Amino acid sequence: MFKEFKQFLLRGNVVDLAVGVVVGAAFGTVVTALVKDILTPLIAAIAKVPDFSNLSFTINGSTFMYGDFINAIIAFVLVAAAIFFFVIKPMNYLIARSRKEPPADPTTKKCPECMSEIPLAARRCMHCTQVV
């Protein structure tokens, strides 16, 4: 059982997934910092609100921090856009480029005598009447 578990862990898919999770977490931190430190102040300067994270309202003693929610939405949209434009689009391009259409089945053949093109089912050449 331990041997199978070791084989499972050392399979390429598990290692690839682990690397993807670590890189994704690091990328998420970078994008969150971008939203928090650059884009939110930029949007706030245009919207004349100094910081979205402080936006909130209170109902019956409960505080709703909708500014943090706005920051999270902006971060999500940026992460999704970055993944789409920097991962999905290039991979789709590479996959489409690597797939080559198989050549179509031939419908003609060459006559051994006159080298003209004749249908595959032909028993005689239509140009020189040679038996094929």
The per-residue pLDDT for range 86-114, each reduced to its tens digit, is 778 988 898 888 887 777 778 888 888 88
Please, is 78 exposed, middle or buried when counting C-beta atoms within 10 Å of its C-beta (0-12, 13-18, 19+)? Answer: middle
Per residue in 67-93, pLDDT (tens digit) is: 888 878 877 887 777 778 877 898 889
Tell me phi and psi for residue 111, to 5 degrees: -75, 130
The answer to whether the CB of 31 falls within 8 A of the CB of 75 is yes
Spatial CB neighbours of 85, under 8 Å, sequence gap ≥ 6? none
Greatest CA span in the chain, whole angstroms?
Answer: 99
- Rounded percentage of the chain residues whose pLDDT exceeds 70: 94
The answer to whether the CB of 85 falls within 8 A of the CB of 105 is no
A 10 A CB-CB count for 111 gives 19
Return the minimum-mean-pLDDT range out of 10-14, 22-26, 94-98. 10-14
